């Protein structure tokens, strides 16, 4: 390069650098101006507004509103809510150790599922118990989030509850001590269908990869020759834990995730760093629309590396990475700092939060605009819409009847009464709802006055409005009236038609009262269509290999 060219290039670089500096200065000046305006408005309100303002509440609300304009994952946690963030990342909190649920009919919070060997369980609290007061504070009508805040606290601190128990007159006073509660990331694992190791992974919290490793080794000792990892409903968690779980099945040194953000510190490459424990056993991964983030990293990476067959329905599509930064006065900001890319180079992010419309909704990337990538073996996979399973068994949608039964808490209350009348039931893997019990449930619903609205009837009302608007009411009158008569909700007909589904829901709730979460899982696996498909594929080596082979 001659001197003239060097001088010219130096001038060009200087001009570009100057433009960047000026743009950066302008951005900082604009930011300072807006912050000054905001600060001035708060001061004016505090001085001159007709009533006293609550600065903390007002500013926290404004922060939440500001962050909602970015994406659903960028959140501010003030000091008094920092424990919520800790629970998300570690699965640990201090409280009574029970799932709670708001009981609409009773207008208070109910104990839904006390964890075994935790304070609530040890104190004798049962599913169905109604919480009336916490440390003397009346909680009737209070949201479950507010009640949860009252139940949590420092480990070892006392807690006084006023309880109302179904089937028992009067109120009960229960005293217990809060304890550190660690929610297990693996809800259940065991041998299924002869020699298949099944693992239900519900979260990606601290050290879940180590627990997964121990589960796999234990299953191998029990004779497992293939594995099913159930990630359905798993909303994700820690990225490094997801990478370590993938590492259990793929060789050391493989690139699993690459993150790319606005600043250099957000750009990272995550590789497998340990020797795997199994690189040959067939694997099936179960996913659904609630499988997100770290779940998609595990499922997507094992798909990209042709190491597992993915079964179920398309995953959520969260390709964003969050980091946590401490801010003033003990608060934390969890913010999106990067997008992640799995081995094929694709990002699974489905929603474009940079172009939200006025009501806060974001558009989903249409399939026609997604890009084709390739797995290690050359199979086609796509970006932009979650992980698409290799096999998609036909899924059954929740009927209107079942939705209303769950919302009404009818099944929850029936299970409470059933437990009061029956000291024991058959074990979870053989328990069935007898026709006699189902008849009792039908009668219970009628005495309760249970009703529900058919969606088809609601749509017919809208259709009638459109028919009238278009001047067709007279010529369609007979047909519409005939259809209206047939679309009245018929409880007996619906309970007959959806008998199997209703029985399953009732059995599921009853089993929890006797055998807890583990029993509920064991029962639910008996008629699981995705699981049956996974068994069939893992038992058929030729079909398994064919799925993982590119179409020529």
pLDDT, tens digit (0-9, with 9 covering 90-100), for 327-368: 888 889 999 999 999 999 999 998 888 766 555 566 666 776
Top-confidence range, 11-15, 126-130, 225-229, 359-363: 225-229
Boundary-marking domain end, from 138, 164, 182: 182
Is 382 in the same domain as 247? yes
* Amino acid 230: pLDDT: 98
Residue 122 shares a structural domain with residue 154: yes
Q: Rounded to an integer, what distance in angstroms lies between the CA atom of residue 293 and that of residue 306? A: 20
Residues 300 and 220 occupy one common structural domain: yes
What CA–CA distances, in Å, run from 26 to 32, 38, 103, 229?
A: 10, 19, 54, 51
Whether residue 7 lies inside any domain: the answer is: no
Tell me the CA distances in angstroms from 448 to 443, 507, 550, one per residue in order: 9, 19, 57
What is the rounded CA–CA span in Å between residue 256 and residue 76? 30
Same domain, 387 and 292: yes
* CATH code for the domain in which residue 371 is found: 3.90.226.10
Task: Among 392, 411, 434, identify where a domain stops.
Answer: 392
Look at 32 and 459; give whichever has higher pLDDT.
32
Based on the fold, state whether residues 171 and 218 are members of the same structural domain: no
User: Cα-Cα-Cα-Cα dihedral of 405, 408, 410, 411, to 10°?
Assistant: 50
Q: Are residues 206 and 342 in the same domain?
A: yes
Known catalytic membership, residue 293: yes
226-230 and 196-201 as β-strands: parallel, antiparallel, unpaired? parallel
Residue pLDDT, tens place only, 146-182: 999 899 888 899 999 999 999 888 899 999 999 988 8
- The pLDDT assigned to 110 comes to 95
477 catalytic? Reply is no
What digits encode the pLDDT tens for the residues 292-335? 999 999 999 999 999 999 999 999 999 999 988 898 888 899 99
Residues 523 and 412 placed together within one structural domain of the fold: yes
Mean pLDDT of 495-503: 92
Q: Does residue 550 sit within a domain?
A: no
Catalytic residue, candidates 71, 288, 304, 413: 304
Position 535 scores a pLDDT of 97
- Asked, for residue 198, whether it belongs to a domain, the answer is yes
From residue 21, give the alpha-carbon distance in Å to each of 11, 25, 31: 15, 6, 15
- The C-alpha atoms of residue 99 and residue 502 are separated, in whole angstroms, by 23
∠ CA 109-142-154, rounded to 5° = 80
In this prediction, residues 268-296 reach a mean pLDDT of: 96
Q: Say if residue 268's pLDDT is above 80.
A: yes
The CATH number that applies at residue 125 is: 2.30.42.10
* Three-state secondary structure of 399-447: CHHHHHHHHHCHHHHHHHHHHHHCCCCCCCCCCCCCHHHHHHHHHHHHH
- Residues 431-443 have a mean pLDDT of 95
Average pLDDT over all residues of the chain: 89
The active-site residue out of 211, 254, 318, 334 is 318
What span, in angstroms and rounded, lies between the C-alpha atoms of 275 and 278?
9
> Does any domain span residue 64?
no
Under the banding of pLDDT at 50, 70 and 90, the label for residue 250 is: very high
Exactly one of 226, 293, 301, 344 is catalytic; which is it? 293
Who's near 402: CB < 8 A, 6+ residues apart?
498, 501, 502, 505
**318 classed as catalytic:** yes
Per-residue pLDDT tens for 56-106? 888 889 989 889 888 889 999 888 888 788 777 777 788 999 999 999 889
In a domain, 548, yes or no: no
Domain hosting 112: range is 92-182
Do 474 and 529 sit in the same domain of this protein?
no
Q: What is the mean pLDDT of residues 242-253?
A: 97
Residue 473 has pLDDT above 60, yes or no: yes
Together in a domain, 206 and 334: yes
Average pLDDT over residues 218-238: 96
Residue 258 within any structural domain of the chain: yes
pLDDT-above-90 percentage for the chain = 59
Q: Taking 90 as the threshold, does the pLDDT of residue 12 lie above it?
A: no
The phi, psi pair for 364, rounded to 5°, reads -90, 140
Tell me: do 364 and 482 sit in the same domain. no
Are 476 and 527 found together in one domain?
Answer: no
Helix and strand numbers (H, E) in the chain are 17, 20
Which class for 381: exposed (0-12), middle (13-18), buried (19 or more C-beta within 10 A)?
Answer: buried
Written as one string, the DSSP assignment of 13-37 is HHHHHHHHHHHHHHHHHHHHHHHHH
Q: Are residues 134 and 269 in the same domain?
A: no
Judge whether 18 lies within some domain: no
Last residue of a domain, one of 343, 361, 392: 392
pLDDT digits (tens, 9 = 90+) for 133-149: 999 999 999 999 899 98
Name the domain count of the chain.
4
**Euclidean distance between CA atoms 482 and 525, whole angstroms:** 42
On whether residue 543 sits in a domain, the answer given is: no
**What's the confidence (pLDDT) of residue 28?**
82
């Amino acid at each position: 390069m001659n001197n003239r060219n060097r001088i010219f290039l130096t001038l060009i670089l200087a001009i570009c650098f100057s433009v960047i500096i000026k743009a950066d200065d302008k951005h900082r000046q604009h930011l300072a101006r807006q912050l000054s305006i905001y600060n001035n408005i708060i001061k004016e309100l505090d001085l001159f507004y007709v009533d006293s303002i609550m600065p903390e509440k007002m500013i926290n609300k404004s922060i939440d509103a500001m962050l909602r304009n970015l994406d659903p994952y960028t959140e501010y946690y003030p000091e008094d809510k920092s424990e919520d963030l800790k629970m998300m990342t570690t699965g640990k909190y201090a409280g009574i150790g029970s799932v709670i649920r708001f009981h609409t009919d009773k207008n208070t919070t109910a104990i839904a599922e006390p964890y075994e060997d935790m304070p609530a369980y040890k104190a004798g609290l049962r599913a169905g118990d109604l919480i009336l007061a916490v440390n003397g504070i009346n909680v009737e009508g209070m949201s479950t989030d507010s009640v949860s805040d009252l139940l949590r606290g420092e480990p070892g601190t006392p807690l006084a509850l006023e309880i109302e128990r179904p089937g028992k007159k009067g109120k009960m006073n229960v005293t217990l001590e809060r304890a550190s509660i660690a929610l297990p990331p693996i809800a259940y694992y065991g041998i299924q269908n002869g020699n298949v190791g099944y693992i239900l992974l519900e979260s990606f919290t601290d050290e879940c990869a180590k627990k997964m490793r121990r589960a796999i080794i234990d299953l191998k000792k029990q004779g497992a020759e293939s594995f099913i990892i159930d990630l359905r409903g798993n909303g994700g968690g820690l990225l490094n834990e997801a990478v370590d779980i993938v590492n259990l099945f793929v060789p050391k040194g493989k690139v699993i995730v690459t993150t790319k953000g606005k600043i250099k510190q957000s750009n990272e490459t995550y590789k497998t760093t340990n020797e795997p424990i199994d690189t040959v056993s067939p694997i099936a991964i179960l996913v659904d629309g609630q499988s997100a983030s770290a779940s998609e990293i595990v499922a997507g990476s094992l798909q990209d590396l042709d190491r597992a067959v993915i079964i179920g329905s398309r995953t959520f599509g969260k390709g964003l990475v969050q980091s946590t930064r401490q801010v003033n006065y003990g608060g934390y900001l969890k913010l999106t700092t990067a997008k992640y890319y799995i081995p094929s180079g694709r990002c699974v992010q489905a929603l474009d939060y940079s172009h939200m419309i006025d009501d806060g909704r974001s558009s989903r990337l249409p399939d026609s605009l997604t890009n084709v990538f390739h797995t290690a073996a050359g199979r086609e996979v796509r970006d932009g819409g979650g992980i698409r399973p290799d096999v998609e068994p036909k899924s059954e949608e929740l009927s209107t009847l079942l939705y209303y039964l769950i919302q009404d808490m009818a099944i929850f209350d029936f299970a409470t009464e059933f437990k009061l009348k029956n000291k024991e039931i058959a074990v979870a893997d053989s328990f069935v709802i007898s026709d006699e019990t189902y008849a009792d449930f039908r009668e219970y619903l009628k005495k309760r006055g249970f009703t529900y609205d058919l969606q088809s009837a609601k749509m017919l009302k809208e259709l009638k409005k459109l028919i009238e608007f278009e001047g067709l009411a007279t010529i369609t009158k007979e047909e519409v009236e005939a259809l209206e008569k047939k679309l009245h909700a018929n409880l007996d007909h619906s309970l007959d038609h959806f008998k199997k589904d209703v029985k399953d829901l009732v059995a599921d709730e009853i089993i929890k009262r006797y055998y807890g979460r583990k029993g509920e899982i064991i029962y639910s696996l008996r008629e699981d269509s995705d699981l049956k498909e996974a068994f069939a594929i893992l038992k058929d080596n030729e079909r398994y290999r064919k799925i993982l082979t590119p179409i020529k």
